[in-house]
Amino acid sequence: MSVETRVVPALGELCRRGIVAAPMAGGVSRPELAAAVSDAGGLGFLAAGYKTADGMYEEIKQLRALTSKPFGVNLFMPQPAADPAALDLYRQQLASESAWYETPIQERDDHGTDDGYEAKLALLVDDPVPVVSFAFGCPSRDELDALAHVGTYTVVTVTTPEEAQAAEWAGADAVCVQGIEAGGHQSTHRDDPQTDGSGGLGLLSLVTQVRETVQVPVIAAGGLMRGAQIAAVRAAGADAAQLGTAFLACPESGAHAMHKNALKNPLFVRTELTRAFSGRPARGLVNRFMREHGPYAPSAYPEVHYMTAGLRQAAARVGDAQGMALWAGQGHRLARDIPAGRLVQVLSAEADSAWTEMALRRSTS
């Protein structure tokens, strides 16, 4: 590794079209998906969450073989240890699922309490990638500096203006502002066990407040499915848009076929935040598992994620979407199952025409 500090590129150089495919852990963000997005002028992401450091590195090598364009890698910040008594109670709550799917409730695997965070970070400093983003917290200034030193652009996901301020002070190059509409986990820096997580701000309101709080570029995420919405968050001050659910439906996404189908299945009419599957508020299509266990699930992430892993896999094996974690944002009904590169082009064209129309209306009013 060179001791010379490399120059960190600007967001516009890394993501020409201002469209980011959200990192989606659990096998969704395959290298094929990230490559298709980056090749089309968006920013593709790998999701390192739940993977070992070696598993993450393997995917980076696969992605580098598929594209020479910039891409990102997303890390989970380490979480505080869970209360063992609360976990015992939830284990009892899940006993009926264990019997139904004839699957034991898993104990923690050997990922440790920190999702391999330090090993992953060390690897990314050693063999840098263009962008690294963080979920569930803010890295230290030293960690962000180490990445800046090797030319990596850093993004911290935030859900409040205060978290955005803390990320800017720590030295992040940009913040990914996640509204309450977003699919998957809410990336709050601290999970408050006293709340169900549903008190967060809607994206437009949040982007506006963050824009007035920090100077760094803002990437907006949550419920964005059409180019006109991307133009709207740009008007509110966002520099780029990050979309998860929209890319979940693409053929290159590694989401389970039942998960993809559920996005537009009228059986699943709405989404909610739940701790049922992972112990941290995450938005998914409301199903039986969520309804029956959500109210009893403790704040215990990622312990609950590992407890329910076998049950979720068993549900998928027997074709039972009612027992799977069907993560999705509020815009899920607008999903289009077109190739990811094409989706980037369509979103970009839609955003440009909405932007032009807004400008025209302004000039004629």
Ligand X SMILES: Cc1cc2nc3c(=O)[nH]c(=O)nc-3n(C[C@H](O)[C@H](O)[C@H](O)COP(=O)(O)O)c2cc1C
Residues forming the site for ligand X (CB under 6 A): 22-25, 28, 47, 49, 74, 135, 157, 178, 181-184, 187, 221-224, 242-246, 248, 327-329, 331
Please report how close the Cβ of residue 250 comes to ligand X at its closest, in angstroms: 12
Among residues 174 and 246, whose Cβ is nearest to ligand X? 246
Nearest in space to 282 (alpha carbons), one of 154, 135, 139: 135
CA–CA gap between residue 283 and residue 114 (Å, rounded):
23
Of 27 and 112, CB closest to ligand X: 27
For the bound state, the minimum distance from the C-beta of residue 328 to ligand X, rounded and expressed in Å, comes to 6
Q: What is the DSSP code (8-state) at residue 27?
A: T
Q: How far is the CB of 124 from ligand X (least distance, A)?
A: 15
**Structural contact between residues 55 and 30, judged by C-beta atoms closer than 8 angstroms:** no
**Strand partners for 221:** 178, 242
CB of 222 to ligand X, least distance (A): 5
**Shortest distance, CB of residue 178 to ligand X, whole angstroms?**
5
Q: Least distance in Å: CB of 48 to ligand X?
A: 8
Residue closer to ligand X by CB (options 139, 329) is 329
Q: Which residues pair with 73 in a beta bridge?
A: 46, 132
Cβ contacts of 77 within 8 Å, gap of 6 or more:
117, 134, 135, 136, 137, 138, 139, 189
Which of 28, 86 has the CB closer to ligand X?
Answer: 28
- For residue 285, the cross-strand partners are 271
CB of 99 to ligand X, least distance (A): 28
Rounded Cα gap, residues 9 and 41, in angstroms: 15
Measured from the CB atom, the residue of 137 and 298 that comes closer to ligand X is 137
Closer Cβ to ligand X, 82 or 225, answer by number? 225
Can you tell me which residue has the tokens 């509409």?
181
Q: Which residues pair with 158 in a beta bridge?
A: 177
* Nearest residue to 19 via CA among 248, 357, 341: 341
Output 23 or 130, the one with its CB closest to ligand X.
23
| C-beta closer to ligand X: residue 135 or 324 | 135
**What is the C-alpha separation between 335 and 358, in angstroms, rounded?**
24
Sheet holding 240-243, edge to edge: 19-21, 240-243, 218-221, 174-178, 153-158, 131-135, 71-76, 44-47
| Beta carbon of residue 299, minimum distance to ligand X (angstroms, whole number) | 18
- From CA 227, how far away is CA 205, in angstroms rounded? 19
- How far is residue 314's CA from residue 103's CA, in Å, rounded to a whole number? 7
- In angstroms, the CA 220 to CA 230 distance is 8
Using a 10 angstrom Cβ sphere, with 0-12 exposed, 13-18 middle and 19 or more buried, the burial of residue 254 is middle
Cross-strand partners of 274? 282
Q: How far is the CB of 241 from ligand X (least distance, A)?
A: 9
Our CB check for ligand X shows the closer of 11 and 86 to be: 11
